[in-house]
Amino acid sequence: KVTLTIDNVKIEVPKEYTILQAAREIGIDIPTLCYLKDINEIGACRMCLVEIEGARNLQASCVHPVADGMVIKTNTRKIREARKANLELILSDHDRDCLACFRNGNCELQKLSEDLNIKDIEFEGERTVKPIDNLSDSIVRDPNKCILCGRCVAVCSKVQKIGALAFTNRGIETEVAPAFGKSMAEAPCVYCGQCINVCPVAALREKTEIEKVWDVIEDKSKHVLVQTAPAVRAALGEEFGLPIGTRVTGKMVSSLKRLGFDKVFDTNFAADLTIMEEGHELLNRIQNGGTLPMITSCSPGWVRYCEFYYPEIIDNLSTCKSPHQMMGAILKSYYAKINNIDPKDIYVVSVMPCTSKKTESARKEMTVNGLRDVDAVLTTRELGKMIKEARIEFNKLEDGVFDEFFGDYSGAGVIFGATGGVMEAAIRTVADVVTGEDLEEIEYNVVRGIENLKEAEVKIGDMNVKVAVVHGTGAASELLDLVKAGKADYHFIEVMGCSGGCVTGGGQPQVSAKVREEVDLRVERAKALYEEDALMPVRKSHKNESIQKLYADFLGKPNGHMAHELLHTHYEK
């Protein structure tokens, strides 16, 4: 421990602390912009300047370690003016059309300008307008908004270990962009959107489909169906000021009904369906010498990562489409049939915590008879915007319930949204199928939580099934190297593209760097899902009566002919 004085307050802190951390302990919120704890500690934006007694210049507190006897000032005229000058410099080169900006109201730069009492911008210069890259289906990059903080670059290279973004060019030409002047559509980017989640401004954002969805809601010739991913309910409330981890399933359903969708269904239903297909695929591979370990294929960021970086192990991927794609295929076949609607007139919207799902839904493999399974994908953030635009007072809504049949789900379906959830759901079903029993012990705590690698050996009947769970492409890569080398003797592996799984997907509400440091979003949002699971009367996918009926009336057997036609796919090497 070391003792130091900050603004006349004596404080004792661990010796590995930075001045920034020490100050926050006594309630002094030194401003930061480029700082992201453990990820981007570069002291570049010079917002966090402080005065250290005896030092000649002001120092960046986010990278400066504390020392015994240090005397620090954080609030002098000199400091305030230096911070303001640095901020004004950033603002002078920033597209400040705040009122028409995607981040209006939750922009960290806007907030800082307010907090630091910026009144006029001294260095106003000619800004050159740079072209916006909107060529991909998932991510828009707007260099006019970029403040070169480097947070996205750090997340992509250090956390995801992808490195699709870099500082390019030099001097005033500097830009954060994919290398070699490529667009995001040409870069080896997996569209996980983790860069968007840490962007303090709107330089990186999703390619919005809000207008497309408003149009189709107006179109009376279309029957518009919406489905919500498991993780959306764990975070949508944050868009309306509710605490992180508040579960808003009922209000979410009510808001969707008010927006004018013809039916509101739950992707959880299709998650249960996925377990039926994937569980049987696994048993089939184990019993008939198929490619093992089998790896989940529901996270499109992960699938893209596999296609780019681990093409050798593509045969390990389950052939199952992801749940929301399965849902789309079922809605345009079975639902269309029982309701006597031409599938061409059905329009399926998915609300997802994910930016990669936008690109996934546009893949040519994700069609049946030339019709897309899913026509549009909205992120949780986009849904939040639509609810606001419709002037619906979200927090005052009564709890609604999903429409019947395709809104029916088990507890296993809802935990899909957290890392380990797909694995737990699969084991619940596979264990029953193999033993022929209705097992009561269904909470597999070993696969829950946010450890990078979770492993378990589950005794199912006389089989010992070895499983592993990884999340975040960066953390997954070690295990994937083992699979590639043929040294991973697991039967089944769950991989999610984002650390924490879907609850922290790239389409979820953005949370400031400061709050991200204080709260582990992965833990708080996952709690909401496990809470919903525990409340469900049915907690195993194969016990979902609507799923049973779907097989009896329409699909036949899991992995059967019809299921293959509608619910399975292939990948590109």
Which residues are tagged catalytic? 278, 281, 298, 318, 357, 360, 365, 502
- The CB-of-354 to ligand HC0 minimum distance in angstroms stands at 3
> Do residues 295 and 305 touch, judged by C-beta distance below 8 A?
no
Q: Write down the residue that tokens 């400066």 correspond to.
A: 64
- Applying CB under 6 A, does 392 fall inside the site for ligand SF4? no
Q: In what order do the strands lie in the sheet with 346-352?
A: 263-266, 223-228, 346-352, 376-379
When binding is defined by CB under 6 A, the residue of 62, 204, 292, 422 that contacts ligand HC0 is: 422
Instruction: Build a one-symbol-per-residue string for 126-145: x at contacts with ligand SF4 by CB under 6 A, - elsewhere.
Output: -------------x------
Beta strands in 371-491 (DSSP E): 371-372, 376-379, 453-460, 463-471
When binding is defined by CB under 6 A, the residue of 302, 310, 416, 530 that contacts ligand HC0 is: 416
Q: Is 452 exposed, middle or buried (0-12, 13-18, 19+ CB in 10 A)?
A: middle
> Do residues 428 and 442 touch, judged by C-beta distance below 8 A?
yes
422 contact choice in ligand HC0, ligand SF4, none (CB below 5 to 8 Å, kind-dependent): ligand HC0
- The CB-of-308 to ligand SF4 minimum distance in angstroms stands at 10
- Applying CB under 6 A, does 417 fall inside the site for ligand HC0? yes
Closest to ligand HC0 by CB, 108 or 532: 532
90 contact choice in ligand SF4, ligand HC0, none (CB below 5 to 8 Å, kind-dependent): none
Q: Is 433 exposed, middle or buried (0-12, 13-18, 19+ CB in 10 A)?
A: middle
Between CA 279 and CA 558 the distance in angstroms is: 9
165 contact choice in ligand SF4, ligand HC0, none (CB below 5 to 8 Å, kind-dependent): ligand SF4
Beta strands in 273-322 (DSSP E): 294-295
- Applying CB under 6 A, does 298 fall inside the site for ligand HC0? yes
> Do residues 271 and 425 touch, judged by C-beta distance below 8 A?
yes
164 contact choice in ligand HC0, ligand SF4, none (CB below 5 to 8 Å, kind-dependent): ligand SF4
Closest to ligand HC0 by CB, 204 or 412: 412
Residue list 140-179, contact with ligand HC0 (CB under 6 A): none
Q: Which of 279, 536, 282 is nearest to 409 (CA)?
A: 536
From first CA to last CA, the distance across the chain in angstroms is: 54
Q: How many residues bind ligand HC0 (CB under 6 A)?
A: 20
- The CB-of-190 to ligand SF4 minimum distance in angstroms stands at 5
When binding is defined by CB under 6 A, the residue of 407, 500, 505, 506 that contacts ligand HC0 is: 505
Pairing of strands 492-496, 463-471: parallel
When binding is defined by CB under 6 A, the residue of 48, 195, 248, 503 that contacts ligand SF4 is: 195
- Applying CB under 6 A, does 384 fall inside the site for ligand HC0? no
Q: Which stretch binds ligand HC0 (CB under 6 A): 198-206, 252-260, 347-355, 376-384?
A: 347-355
- Applying CB under 6 A, does 500 fall inside the site for ligand HC0? no
Query: Half-sphere exposure (CA, 13 Å, Cβ side) for 357?
Result: 35
* Helix (DSSP H) and strand (DSSP E) numbers for the chain: 20, 19
When binding is defined by CB under 6 A, the residue of 143, 193, 245, 323 that contacts ligand HC0 is: 323
311 is written with which tokens?
Answer: 């093409």
Q: Is 465 exposed, middle or buried (0-12, 13-18, 19+ CB in 10 A)?
A: buried
When binding is defined by CB under 6 A, the residue of 50, 165, 203, 346 that contacts ligand SF4 is: 165
Between CA 385 and CA 380 the distance in angstroms is: 9
Residue by residue, what is the 3-state secondary structure of 462-529? CEEEEEEEEECHHHHHHHHHHHHCCCCCCCEEEEECCCCCHHHCCCCCCCCHHHHHHCCHHHHHHHHH
Closest to ligand HC0 by CB, 229 or 513: 229
Pairing of strands 166-168, 175-177: antiparallel
- Applying CB under 6 A, does 156 fall inside the site for ligand SF4? yes
431 contact choice in ligand SF4, ligand HC0, none (CB below 5 to 8 Å, kind-dependent): none
When binding is defined by CB under 6 A, the residue of 91, 162, 326, 511 that contacts ligand SF4 is: 162
Task: List residues near ligand SF4 by CB under 6 A.
Answer: 139, 155-156, 160, 162, 164-165, 189-195
> Which residues lie near ligand HC0 (CB under 6 A)?
229-231, 267, 271, 298-299, 322-324, 352-354, 357, 416-417, 422, 501-502, 505
